[in-house]
Amino acid sequence: MTLISLPLVAPERKVSGFRPLKVLHHFSKLVEDKEDTEQVFHIIEATKGRRSHNQAWGFIASDEGQRFIAEETDIPGMLDDHARWADCGPNTVAAHYIAFMKREGLSAAGLVAESHKWLPADARHADLTEWYFERLRDTHDLFHVLTGYGRDALGEASLLGFTYQQNHNKGILFIAYAGARQIKKVSGTKAPLFAAIKEGRKLGKAAAKIAHQDIAALMAEDIGEARARLNIGKPEVYRQCLAILQSEGVAREQLTLGGSGAQAA
């Protein structure tokens, strides 16, 4: 079945709104086992409210959205095809993305597989709304590359602040602030962690929607020019926090909160 033949909303899809008890249940499991990335997907699914869906439907109806649907580009496959970007210059988004993914031992396909662990094929909706939410998931690591946020716990939490302003999923914001609180609890740091989350939100609100871009064209852009075009500012407070944590003797690798699970954003 082609994308263009899918309905906007499958008959069985329900927009349930914010389910706080479900969120708290899964967050408590995430805190118990910070590598249990499945819990992040549950939290995000429990908080896809009307605003997130309205944004999805608005983009789907746009000229750009319709073009991307007609093209049926496999974003994870395209991003993981590193040979495709071999001719791109050393300062392109593609070059920085490939370096980031190799350094972190990640793949776009791995993120898809992680999301499918808890939501099997027969439980996913065959509609264009699902296509949009998958697009948000599939571009997560591009968010890291373009914003400069690392995969340490504070980097993930700050990026979730940025991501919330991009997709308006309240679960994303919940994890961001809960993550900062957990870092504070574990480390006792004097770094302004919540200010880093607030900065992420400010940067995300000012920036163009990354998931709405032509990803193939974006990959070929000079990364500085791409950041300027998308109006992505520098995460200065986040970097200050990292410096303070380092001065306090807290190593970045000591701080984890669900690792790559935040990629569900």
Q: What percent helix, strand, coil does the chain show, rounded to 5? A: 70, 0, 30
In angstroms, the CA 52 to CA 112 distance is 20
| Tens-place pLDDT, residues 193-229 | 999 999 999 999 999 999 999 999 999 999 999 999 9
List, in sequence order, the alpha helices (H) in 119-235.
128-138, 140-147, 153-167, 170-187, 193-206, 215-219, 223-230
What is the phi/psi pair of residue 222, to 5°?
A: -60, 135
Q: Are 219 and 82 in contact (CB under 8 A)?
A: no
What are the pLDDT digits (tens) for 158-192?
999 999 999 888 878 888 998 899 899 989 999 99
> Cβ contacts of residue 114 below 8 Å, gap of 6+?
37, 38, 41, 260, 261, 263, 264
To the nearest whole number, what is the mean pLDDT of the chain? 86
Helix (H) or strand (E) holding 12: none
Calculate mean pLDDT across residues 250-254.
68
CA dihedral over 62, 66, 68, 74, signed as positive or negative? positive
Averaged pLDDT, 107-130: 82
Burial class of residue 224 in the structure, from the number of CB atoms within 10 Å of its CB (0-12 exposed, 13-18 middle, 19+ buried):
exposed
Amino acid (one-letter) located at 2: T
- Over residues 45-98, the pLDDT tens digits come to 666 667 888 999 999 999 999 999 999 999 999 999 999 999 999 999 999 999
Reported pTM:
0.85
Please report the pLDDT score of residue 253 as a whole number.
Answer: 60
- Which of 82-91, 109-118, 137-146, 158-167 is predicted least confidently? 109-118
Mean pLDDT computed over 120-129:
76
Residue 133: pLDDT above 80? yes
pLDDT of residue 10: 86
pLDDT (0 to 100) of residue 264: 42
Query: Which whole number is the average pLDDT over 35-46?
Result: 65
Task: Look at residue 261 and tell me whether its pLDDT is greater than 50.
Answer: no
